[in-house]
Amino acid sequence: MSQVTVLVPNYNGAAYLRECLESIRAQTFEDWEVVVGDNASTDASLSIVAALADRRIRTVRRPRTIGWVANVNLLMAEASTPYIAILHADDWWEPAFLETTVSMLQAAPRSLVATGAGRIVRTGRPAELTGLFQAWAVSQGSTCPAGEVARLLTPRNLIPSATVLTRAELYRRFPRYEPALSLLGDWLMWLRAGGVADFEVTNQVLANYRVHAANQSAFAEANNLWAMDVLRVGLILQAEWAGTASPYPGATRAIAAAVANDLIERAALRLERGDQATARRLARLAWAMAPTAGQRTLARIGELGIRLFGGGPLARLREPLSGMARRVKPAVERSLM
């Protein structure tokens, strides 16, 4: 049996799949196997896998296209190795990914997750880095302790799934990505795991994560689905973290505040694009989620501002005022929380 199973969910990823699989074959650590979970693709994906003729790479096929979360959850049943990685067909690794992360987990038996830096690749924009190292200074040591991980990831998800190697035990404790979260399933997984398990962190760039402008995330943005997923994460964790299960002091309040902040930011973006109606709806949802009277007041003021300056004769004042609001917002928030 190999040490690592790499699960590769794929839906019509023919344009990237070869690069993805070649990046696995180029790993300096060689004891791996790959299972491609093809989600009823209609492009050349299957022939790309077949052309590699690599017996370490096998494919399972869905008879009909289902959500990517369900595809990943089904793929999990294919892994019987001590370590599991999930690499989406449009992402790819640096050659040292497995060698680095496997040795980190071997050196830290209590940690369930090892994660490095990920390069976010967008067409037409310079690459940016993201990773837990941005919140956890690795000079303190590579082990970010349970609880602290959850705290650092509460404001937003820093960990792209391509940068992660997990012990199989993680998925025995948290057997599935939340089926209803099509966009933020991984964030919830790391928040849950980070409440009870240590994470190994490095700032080495180990993975590349492709963001498409025109794909699902654009569709999701148009439909406000990001906002809906953020709300769902907030409500799930408020319930799970209530009482003694709190991973760090004030966790339920912090996640609610993070969700409310996220919604307010989305409302501001909508307003900038002139979509006043959506901005108002988002601001009201932010109000409903806000955990403190101070944050609720902020959301109310925001909504009032949208109503006053979103259209009509006062619209000219919108940009200077929203710019000002953005500058003072952090200070106001701190004083009210």
Partner 1 sequence: MSVTILMPVYNGAAFLARSLKSISGQSYGDWRVVIGDDGSTDDSLAVIERSGLPRLTLRRNPRNIGWAQTVNLLLAEVDTAEFLGTVTAMLDRTPASLLAVTAARAVHPSRPDAVWGLHQGFSVEKGSTCPSPVAVSLLLPTDPIRCPAVLARSELYRRYSFDESLPYACDWLMWLRAAAMASVEVSAEVLANFQLHEASQTTGFIRANLTTIDMLRMVEVLRTEWADGREPVKDAIGKLTVGITNEILADAGLKIEAGDLAGAEVQLRFARAIALSVRQSVLSLAGHRAVGLLRLPLMASLRTPITQLGRRLW
* Chain contacts with partner 1 (rule: CB under 8 A): 40, 62-67, 69-70, 73-74, 76-78, 175-176, 179-182, 222-225, 227-229, 231-232, 235-236, 239-240, 281, 284-285, 287-288
What angle (nearest 5°) sits at the alpha carbon of residue 40, between those of residues 35 and 42? 115
Tell me the C-alpha distance between 102 and 6, whole Å. 13
Between 26 and 288, whose beta carbon lies closer to partner 1? 288
Give me the least distance between CB of 221 and partner 1, in Å please. Answer: 11
* Positive or negative: CA dihedral 19, 21, 25, 30: positive
Give me the least distance between CB of 50 and partner 1, in Å please. Answer: 22
Tell me the C-alpha distance between 337 and 323, whole Å. 22
CB distance 176 to 230 below 8 Å: no
Between 105 and 170, whose beta carbon lies closer to partner 1? 170
Give me the least distance between CB of 52 and partner 1, in Å please. Answer: 25
Between 236 and 337, whose beta carbon lies closer to partner 1? 236
Give me the least distance between CB of 288 and partner 1, in Å please. Answer: 4
Give me the least distance between CB of 235 and partner 1, in Å please. Answer: 5
Find where tokens 């944050």 sit.
Answer: 295
Between 16 and 287, whose beta carbon lies closer to partner 1? 287
HSE-up (13 A, CA, CB side) for residue 321: 15
Give me the least distance between CB of 200 and partner 1, in Å please. Answer: 26
Between 70 and 135, whose beta carbon lies closer to partner 1? 70
Give me the least distance between CB of 299 and partner 1, in Å please. Answer: 9
Find where tokens 């967008």 sit.
Answer: 122
Between 231 and 254, whose beta carbon lies closer to partner 1? 231
120 SS3 class: strand
HSE-up (13 A, CA, CB side) for residue 219: 4
Find where tokens 């997990």 sit.
Answer: 166
- What is the b/e burial string over 306-336, where b = at least 16 CB atoms within 10 angstroms of the residue's CB? beebbeeeeeeebeeebeebeeebeeebeee
DSSP string, 213-268: SSSHHHHHHHTTHHHHHHHHHHHHHHHHTSGGG-SSTTHHHHHHHHHHHHHHHHHH
Give me the least distance between CB of 242 and partner 1, in Å please. Answer: 8
Between 84 and 227, whose beta carbon lies closer to partner 1? 227
24 SS3 class: helix
Between 92 and 174, whose beta carbon lies closer to partner 1? 174
Give me the least distance between CB of 190 and partner 1, in Å please. Answer: 19
316-320 long-range Cβ contacts below 8 angstroms, 24+ apart: 318/271, 319/272
Tell me the C-alpha distance between 280 and 37, whole Å. 40
Q: What values do phi and psi take at 222, rounded to 5?
A: -60, -35
Between 46 and 74, whose beta carbon lies closer to partner 1? 74
